[in-house]
Structure 1
């Protein structure tokens, strides 16, 4: 199978997995409406998926650095889907947390190995890694619509239908696994780069930037649907549109980031994007009415232009630990922000949602 076809399959499979990261945030308004959860309780659902995922992804990355585990791709895809599919069935808050945590573990297991495989298939191409990252962002963008179609009419007991993308994604992994097996049998290229030239100091700085970026994006993705309803006076549709714009802006930002990296040095592109993100996140918090949607789109693009560039930077900084680098920059980039979500929710319960979102303006500035 050609390298381009492998990247396409991995990209689509990545989307089928990241649907479930987006689904957790997209389900929050339905949990609030149907089960009367407060902001803190609702954000705790995001925390359950994010906390285990953020802790587990570097561990899975270290594991894949020690040995190739391509079978993780279909297995972790199914695990991610099953957790979200069952989340609406548990009547208790505790069972809901358990199911979304299971989904988070599946997502955690997927990212390091898939990024390692994508790097092998692409030969280290920034553009190819950009397309691989785009697949995940498209999955994020599709999540609010998918959740709304599945759940809005008949309630949370319809969440089992959300397992369908996982079934598709796991099947798409199979040709990739056959290709990897064929390369190994024919004595193809090794699966990882030589262990030379680690720049740990730069990688630590990059990881801190990734973490701050994650707090900003996950804070917005958890609460922007509820906030848009307040600021625009709209109903559930207004919130779904805001969340979709947030995720679609990320998809556009990923493509733009790959193009900009072809013209300018990656770190300069990342810095410029984060500066745009500061102004755009401030607009989300402060600008009322329909203009909010434009600010959401710009904030998402500013936070996602660095996305695939940070993945390749991390892999270049730690060439001897590509799995670990991928687990942190690709996985932690999305999940660690969920750890801060309950703090934002608690502040919103005590003050207002606008006040609670204001500190997010600082996150891209620090990045």
Structure 2
């Protein structure tokens, strides 16, 4: 789950890393660039409590890989260069994916611990997200070093890996997101 978390949070850092490119290559001004960062920040953080309410009410293990994919595809679609509104919409999709991921994934980590304290497990989970965020500039640099659309689609690779890593354990899928008490996500 920690590695999967890294694959999602890389997209939070990717938006900020893309700003210099958007300013220099698309001639976005300061206000336009700030609007893109605002869209990503608002949707990845302010909307997250709404997904938390949903995750509190019912398990949604299917949302974990789906939100991971949305985060990656959104950032990759920035490369389509279909204009400023489309860029904001792509970043918004990514932010929405990031927001949807966290409550559902945290619920899975918590239930995999069987209701125990799990502070160290949650710390490892959080560390994965921080590593992903920190690696984002490297990912963006690598992707933008490849000419054409192929470079932009390289940005989807962490999402593909994350969707694979973040697929709920078979037992959680059968029980709607809960893992047997005392079982880890790997054991389930």
State the match for 1:165 in structure 2: 158
State the match for 1:188 in structure 2: 180
- SS where residue 59 of structure 2 aligns? coil
1:186 deviation in Å? 11
Q: TM-score, normalised by structure 1?
A: 0.46
Moved over 4 A (4+): 182-187
- SS where residue 46 of structure 1 aligns? helix
- SS where residue 70 of structure 1 aligns? coil
Q: Does 1:146 align with 2:139?
A: yes
Contact 2:108 2:178 in 1 (8 A): no
State the match for 1:229 in structure 2: none
- SS where residue 117 of structure 1 aligns? helix
Q: TM-score, normalised by structure 2?
A: 0.87
1:155 deviation in Å? 6.4
Alpha carbons of structure 1 residues 167 and 147: separation in structure 2 relative to 1, 3 Å: same
1:93 deviation in Å? 0.7
Q: Does 1:72 align with 2:63?
A: yes
Query: Pairwise mapping of residues 213-252 of structure 1 onto structure 2 (< 5 A)?
Result: none
| The structure with more radius of gyration | 1
State the match for 1:233 in structure 2: none
Contact 2:10 2:129 in 1 (8 A): yes
Contact 1:82 1:103 in 2 (8 A): yes
Alpha carbons of structure 1 residues 188 and 125: separation in structure 2 relative to 1, 3 Å: closer
User: Where is the helix percentage greater, Structure 1 or Structure 2?
Assistant: 1
1:184 deviation in Å? 7.0
1:153 deviation in Å? 5.0
Q: Does 1:53 align with 2:80?
A: no
State the match for 2:109 in structure 1: 118
Q: Which has the higher contact order (CA 8 A, sep 6+)?
A: 2
1:158 deviation in Å? 2.7
Segments of structure 2 that go 5 or more residues without pairing to the other structure are: 183-188
Contact 2:60 2:177 in 1 (8 A): no
Instruction: Give the distance between the partners of 2:50 and 2:178, measured in 1 at CA.
Output: 30
Contact 1:20 1:84 in 2 (8 A): yes
State the match for 2:170 in structure 1: 178
Contact 1:147 1:162 in 2 (8 A): yes
Segments of structure 1 that go 5 or more residues without pairing to the other structure are: 1-9, 191-367
Alpha carbons of structure 1 residues 186 and 154: separation in structure 2 relative to 1, 3 Å: closer
Q: Deviations over 1:34-85 (max 9, x none)?
A: 0122222112111111222333211110011111111111111011111001
Equivalent residue pairs, number: 180
State the match for 2:27 in structure 1: 36
Instruction: Give the distance between the partners of 1:87 and 1:184, measured in 2 at CA.
Output: 34
1:156 deviation in Å? 7.3
Alpha carbon RMSD of aligned pairs, Å?
A: 2.4
